[in-house]
């Protein structure tokens, strides 16, 4: 099995209101990959008060390490494909 090299640049996450997600980058074996987490997951598992931009950004900032750890696990499972972290992922993988 090939070892994947994954790191997360500390670029600020981007809020996408129509999709209610925050996106953040990962670099997998030198290739940039988009990761995202739903506002619902941030509310359900990371204390965001609402799905508003400022609330989701605050929750992401305070729990970035845990969110990136979850994204890393999913990237290992899926390869260098974009990943979206939903509330159910945290419910079943904690």
Task: Read off the CATH number of the domain in which 22 is found.
Answer: 3.30.160.140
How many C-beta atoms lie closer than 10 Å to residue 9's C-beta? 9
The domain of 83 spans 6-93
In a domain, 1, yes or no: no
In a domain, 25, yes or no: yes
Work out how many domains the chain is built from and give that number. Answer: 1
Q: What angle do CA 45, 49, 52 make, to 5 degrees?
A: 110
pLDDT in tens, 9-22: 999 999 999 999 99
User: What are residue 68's phi and psi, to 5 degrees?
Assistant: -65, -35
What's the pTM?
A: 0.94
pLDDT in tens, 22-75: 999 999 999 999 999 999 999 999 999 999 999 999 999 999 999 999 999 999
């Amino acid at each position: 099995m090939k070892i994947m090299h994954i790191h997360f640049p500390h670029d600020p996450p981007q809020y996408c209101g129509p999709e209610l997600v925050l996106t953040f980058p990962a670099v997998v074996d030198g290739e940039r990959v988009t990761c995202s987490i739903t506002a619902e997951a941030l509310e359900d598992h990371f204390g965001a008060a609402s799905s508003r931009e400022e609330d989701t950004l605050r929750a992401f900032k305070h729990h970035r390490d845990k969110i990136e750890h979850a994204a890393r696990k999913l990237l290992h499972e899926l390869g260098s494909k974009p990943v979206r972290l939903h509330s159910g992922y945290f419910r079943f993988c904690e």
